């Protein structure tokens, strides 16, 4: 019968009191053993007792569980691929962008301010397709522009994929002090479905305030609501998200899009909003990988899901008659 460990450390390490203690290694970082090394040398999983009896020799070591494998994402099916090709063919190429003034495009590309670009063009430091540019000249995405001998990759203010016969429309809006999710579409019907108050589409915000709401105040916001200058405002859901010091974060969901509504709701409770980020609008959430100033074009499958959520028809689709 094996002896029980004489200390908690021996019991934790799975070493009996009669086991011979290993000699102390040299004082070197590379020689220090970790629990993984002990498992390899002892042949036993970490934390399992080592028995002194003969049964220990005949017992095979337990096999370690295999590591989880990365999820394999399958390619879209043939129908989705054909739909994606169809949408790609409908889009216009870069040559259909309207020409823009050179100084405006250079400023949008981050070369410098618009006034500075005007001075550089006047000084002859900018060329377009190998010739010296003139002030007020317009360029297209197909033009090759150099500034002081360096090739400039032009960035257009409207870099969104442009449809052949439509324009982008923003769903809702964000004021100058609010950041986060902004959805653009070419469908006026989809804008109506998202933004009209009668549909009560949820808007989700991450709110940082100076101070803290009490439990009673949160109950009032969700159950009774508060009266603002333009009518009653009610919060659908609200919960804490932590914070540091005097600043607290809250997750707030409302079903309206009135001007500065979230800020005014917190002001009614004596709190000032120091940061406001829209993180969700209806079925669309703000991707974590999407940084400020970037955009992400939804793939055909995602577009189809949103169209289905809005109870709309896809291009070329007919509504089935109810039997």
Q: Annotated active-site positions, please?
A: 175
Specify whether the CB–CB gap between 132 and 164 falls below 8 A: no
What is the DSSP pairing of strand 237-240 with strand 231-233?
unpaired
DSSP assigned state of 7: S
Residues 313, 318, 322, 323, CA torsion sign: negative
Q: Which two tokens stand for residue 208?
A: 């940082």
d(CA 76, CA 285): 22
Count the neighbouring beta carbons within 10 Å of the beta carbon of residue 164. 11
d(CA 298, CA 61): 51
What is the DSSP pairing of strand 178-180 with strand 284-285?
unpaired
Nearest to 101 by CA among 29, 154, 167: 154
Nearest to 111 by CA among 151, 160, 143, 158: 151
Helix (H, G, I), strand (E, B) or coil at 233: strand
d(CA 216, CA 74): 49
d(CA 130, CA 146): 8
Residues in the chain, overall count: 323
Count the neighbouring beta carbons within 10 Å of the beta carbon of residue 106. 27
d(CA 264, CA 227): 10
Residue appearing with tokens 């109506």: 192
Residues 134, 137, 143, 149, CA torsion sign: positive
């Amino acid at each position: 019968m094996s002896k029980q460990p004489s200390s908690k450390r021996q019991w934790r390490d799975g070493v009996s009191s009669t086991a011979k203690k290993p000699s102390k290694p040299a004082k070197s970082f590379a020689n220090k053993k970790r629990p993984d090394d002990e498992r390899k040398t002892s042949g036993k999983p970490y934390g399992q007792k080592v028995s002194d009896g003969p049964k220990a020799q005949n017992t095979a070591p337990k096999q370690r569980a295999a590591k989880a494998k990365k999820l394999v994402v399958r390619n879209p099916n043939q129908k989705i691929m054909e739909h994606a090709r169809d949408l790609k063919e409908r889009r216009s190429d870069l040559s259909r962008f309207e020409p823009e003034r050179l100084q405006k495009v250079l400023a949008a590309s981050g070369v410098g301010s618009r006034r500075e670009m005007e001075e550089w063009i006047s000084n002859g430091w900018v060329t377009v397709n190998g010739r010296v540019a003139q002030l007020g000249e317009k360029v297209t995405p197909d033009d090759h522009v150099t500034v002081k001998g360096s090739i400039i990759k032009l960035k257009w203010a409207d870099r969104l994929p442009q449809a052949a016969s439509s324009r982008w429309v923003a769903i809702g809006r964000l004021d100058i002090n609010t950041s986060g999710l902004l959805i653009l579409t070419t469908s006026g019907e989809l804008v109506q479905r998202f933004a009209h108050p009668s549909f009560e589409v949820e808007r989700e915000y991450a709110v940082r305030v100076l101070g803290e709401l009490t439990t009673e105040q949160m109950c009032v916001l969700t159950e009774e609501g508060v009266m603002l200058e333009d009518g009653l405002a009610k919060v659908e859901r609200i919960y804490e998200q932590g914070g540091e010091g005097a600043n607290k974060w809250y997750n707030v969901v409302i079903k309206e899009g009135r001007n500065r509504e979230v800020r005014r709701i917190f002001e009614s409770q004596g709190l000032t909003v120091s940061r406001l980020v829209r993180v969700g609008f209806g079925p669309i959430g703000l991707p974590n990988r999407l940084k400020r100033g970037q955009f992400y074009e939804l793939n055909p499958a995602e577009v189809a899901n949103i169209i289905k959520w809005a109870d709309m028809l896809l291009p070329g689709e007919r509504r089935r008659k109810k039997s």
